[in-house]
A = this chain, B = another copy of it.
Amino acid sequence: MADGLNMSRRIRRTPYTDRVEAAGVRGFSVVNHMLLPKAFERSVEEDYWHLKEHVQIWDVSCQRQVEISGADAAALVQWMTPRNISNAKIGDCLYIPILDDQAGLINDPVLLKLAEDRFWLSIADSDVLLYAKGLALGRGLDVIVHEPDVYPLALQGPRAEALLSEMFGAEIEKIGFFKFGWIDIFGTRQLIARSGYSRQGGFEIYLNGASLGGPLWDKIWQAGQSYNISPGCPNLIERIEGGLLSYGNEMTSETNPLEIGLGKYCSLDGAVEFIGRPALEKIAAAGPDRLIHGVVFNAPACPTCAVPWPVRVGKSRVGAITSGIYSPRLKKKHWAVAY
């Protein structure tokens, strides 16, 4: 149990939290009003090396799903994002920025197209559910917006595929990157995607049904023993080296997608209508004021970046580091994401 974080119903446990505690979790963060494990027995550096060689099981239930279904579902999703989703196929996962009317980022979820009229947004840390509900109510759209009883469980690392293939059948090997398929878990049909918040490969099982969580964890844990499985969580070293952005860290509602390298997900050819389009077109025409970069630097220590760490040339501030950590691969140097 975390000493520093008071527990209550308001900060929701997940179907896997009992198992995570039994596995020796040392701390949690809070994402979407839900617990996200942040450390187990090993150090971040030890976990980094393990993740790059073996397989880890991550409780990422906090990636809540916002389900949008109904006759106007596709129209609502398209309105929320500058990415043109008109060619998305059932079975696709798409990384989509979500904007407000100033082209500020509300969230950067993964969109899963379940049917022509049914989508999940697998969200980062903000209540997209309320944004979507507000838009739908305001515009009088024919949609149902709700949070289903779905709790993603990630298997990440180079051995994830072999483990899951052994457990659920070789068909999962045919699932392409950022695509999803279906597997049988305890007689239920469950969604599995080749995705996850690392660059080491792996899958996310979008488990539908809280009561199956404990048994599923146990089953994978047992089968994973011969793969050197370990409990884990998104690894700060690995995600910074991999250039994975974090909503709330590299971007907030003060950030537009063009300044953090998401221009490729912004349709500025006039093909689609979306919230914030005039503002984004204006920014595109003038060019963004700042640009995100990965940087490597030498320093005696790296800050936690609880507030952005100013970067100066002489006396003038030229940017800030939003996330940084010591890189064991580069030795004595730090990776960071900065703007």
Task: Please give the residue numbers on chain A whose beta carbons come within 8 Å of chain B beta carbons, in ascending order.
Answer: 1-11, 13, 26-30, 33, 38-39, 100-101, 106, 125-128, 130-141, 246-249, 275, 304-308, 322-323
Q: Per a CB cutoff under 8 Å, which of B3, B128, B133, B307 touches A2? A: B3
Given contacts A4-B27, A8-B306, A9-B248, 13 further A-B contacts (CB under 8 A): A2-B5, A3-B27, A5-B27, A6-B28, A10-B247, A11-B30, A33-B125, A101-B137, A130-B131, A131-B133, A134-B138, A135-B138, A137-B138
- Inter-chain contact A5/B29, CB cutoff 8 Å: yes
Among residues of B, the one whose C-beta sits closest to the C-beta of A36 is B6
Q: Kindly list the 6 A-B residue pairs having the minimum CB-CB distance in the complex, ordered from nearest.
A: A138-B138, A134-B134, A2-B4, A10-B248, A4-B4, A127-B127
Among residues of B, the one whose C-beta sits closest to the C-beta of A2 is B4
Residues of B within 8 A of A140 (CB): 138
Distance to closest chain B CB from A200 (angstroms): 21
Main secondary structure of the interface of A (DSSP, over half): loop
Residues of B within 8 A of A10 (CB): 125, 246-249
How long is the Cα–Cα vector from A10 to B140 in the complex, in angstroms?
A: 33
Among residues of B, the one whose C-beta sits closest to the C-beta of A106 is B130
- Listed by A's residue number, 6 A-B pairs whose Cβ atoms lie within 8 Å are A6-B28, A8-B248, A8-B249, A9-B306, A30-B30, A135-B135
How long is the Cα–Cα vector from A38 to B323 in the complex, in angstroms?
A: 26
- Inter-chain contact A6/B29, CB cutoff 8 Å: yes
Among residues of B, the one whose C-beta sits closest to the C-beta of A13 is B306
Among residues of B, the one whose C-beta sits closest to the C-beta of A17 is B306
Among residues of B, the one whose C-beta sits closest to the C-beta of A37 is B6
Residues of B within 8 A of A33 (CB): 125-126, 248
- Inter-chain contact B38/A6, CB cutoff 8 Å: yes
How long is the Cα–Cα vector from A275 to B136 in the complex, in angstroms?
A: 12
How long is the Cα–Cα vector from A127 to B247 in the complex, in angstroms?
A: 15
Q: Per a CB cutoff under 8 Å, which of B5, B136, B248 touches A28? A: B5
Residues of B within 8 A of A322 (CB): 9
How long is the Cα–Cα vector from A136 to B133 in the complex, in angstroms?
A: 12
How long is the Cα–Cα vector from A209 to B126 in the complex, in angstroms?
A: 24
How long is the Cα–Cα vector from A323 to B137 in the complex, in angstroms?
A: 33
Asked, given contacts A130-B127, A139-B139, whether A29 binds B2 with beta carbons under 8 Å apart, the answer is no
How long is the Cα–Cα vector from A134 to B76 in the complex, in angstroms?
A: 11
How long is the Cα–Cα vector from A119 to B304 in the complex, in angstroms?
A: 36
How long is the Cα–Cα vector from A20 to B131 in the complex, in angstroms?
A: 33
- Inter-chain contact A307/B13, CB cutoff 8 Å: yes
How long is the Cα–Cα vector from A101 to B28 in the complex, in angstroms?
A: 33
Among residues of B, the one whose C-beta sits closest to the C-beta of A29 is B6
Distance to closest chain B CB from A150 (angstroms): 16
How long is the Cα–Cα vector from A162 to B139 in the complex, in angstroms?
A: 50
How long is the Cα–Cα vector from A14 to B149 in the complex, in angstroms?
A: 33
- Inter-chain contact B137/A9, CB cutoff 8 Å: no
Residues of B within 8 A of A131 (CB): 127, 130-131, 133-134
